[in-house]
Every structure is written in C-alpha cells, then in structure tokens.
Amino acid sequence: MAGNFLTTRFEAMLAWGRKFSLFHYPYVTACCGMEYMSAACAHFDIDRFGAGWTRFSPRQSDLLLVVGTIAQKLAPVLKTVYDQMTEPKWVIAFGACTVSGGIYDNYAVVQGIDRVIPVDIYIPGCPPRPETVLDGLLKLQEKIKTQGQDWRWKKKTS
C-alpha cells in the first residue's frame, strides 16, 4: 500500500514537471509562422506557461509545433524530425493547412499531418490567433498532467 502512495505522488510530481518544462521545436513552413512568433512575443508571452525554450534540434525537444503547409516532398523530413525527438513527445498541429490541408486541396499538399505523424492537439484557423495558440498549449498541458507518466528505466533489447 505504501509503495502505491509513493509511486502516485512521484507520478504527480513528474507530470507537473513535464507540464511546465516543454521544450518545443518549431517546424515552420508557411504564413502561420507569424502567428507563432506573435504568441512567443511579450504581449502574449508563451514563456509564462512553461514553453518558452525554443529548441532547434529535435533531440533536445519534446514538443513539435508543426506550423504551416506540409508538402508531400516535406512529409518524410517531418517524419524523420518526429522520430529523432526525445520520449515522451507531443505534437501540436498549428493552422488550417497543417490540420487539414487548408485551401490546398491537391495532390502536392498533405491533407492533415495526422497521416504522417500522430497529433495530440489541433489548433484550427487561418491563421490561428495567438490566444488560440495559448489555449491549445493549455489543453496539451492538461493532457500531459492527466496521462500516465512512464518513468521507469527500460533496457533496450536488440
């Protein structure tokens, strides 16, 4: 009984730490990048939610912000970036083009990045307002808080 209490408390502490220490990798390809930048500026200040450290290496990131149109030629690169990220990892689809292909209903544009990588939070809009971006971030933090935390070391088998 005491072991369950300690594990539960440790998992809650770990969830709190992960919730407020998101290191995001911005994968910006199109016009929604301006809204991403405005959400990170002083007026909206994404840093107050614990997601202010932008990393430009997927190996140092646990949150992938896919911002803008993803062409079919770019989809394998996006998949590689996702695969290189640390565990646990989360993905936010940012803007109508990322979520559903947007106005580009043709063969050259991926009609939603969930066909390439798993997505945790969808932020719709063309472009989405910075308030919507912050709302999506808060929803992701709530998801991180409520999901089970895997903290045990696992030996990799070949």
User: Using CA atoms, how far apart are residues 6 and 141, in angstroms rounded to an integer?
Assistant: 23
Report yes or no on 63 lying in a domain: yes
Report yes or no on 151 lying in a domain: no
pLDDT at 152: 61
pLDDT at 139: 92
Confirm if 62 and 103 have CB atoms less than 8 A apart: no
pLDDT at 72: 94
Nearest Cα residue to 125 out of 136, 137, 117: 136
Report yes or no on 26 lying in a domain: yes
Output the domain CATH number for residue 132.
Answer: 3.40.50.12280
Nearest Cα residue to 118 out of 143, 82, 144, 145: 82
Report yes or no on 15 lying in a domain: no
DSSP 57-126: SGGG-SEEEEES--BTTTHHHHHHHHHHSPSS-EEEEESHHHHH-TT--STTB-S-GGGTS--SEEE-SS
- Token pair, residue 79, equals 């998949």
Q: How many domains does the chain have?
A: 1
Report yes or no on 38 lying in a domain: yes
Report yes or no on 11 lying in a domain: no
Instruction: Confirm whether pTM is higher than 0.85.
Output: no
Report yes or no on 60 lying in a domain: yes
Report yes or no on 156 lying in a domain: no
One pLDDT digit (tens) per residue for the chain, 158 residues: 555 555 567 777 777 777 777 888 888 888 888 888 888 777 777 777 777 777 788 888 888 999 989 999 999 999 999 999 988 899 999 999 999 988 888 999 999 999 999 999 999 988 888 888 889 988 998 888 887 766 665 655 55
User: Using CA atoms, how far apart are residues 9 and 80, in angstroms rounded to an integer?
Assistant: 35
Range of the domain at 114: 22-143
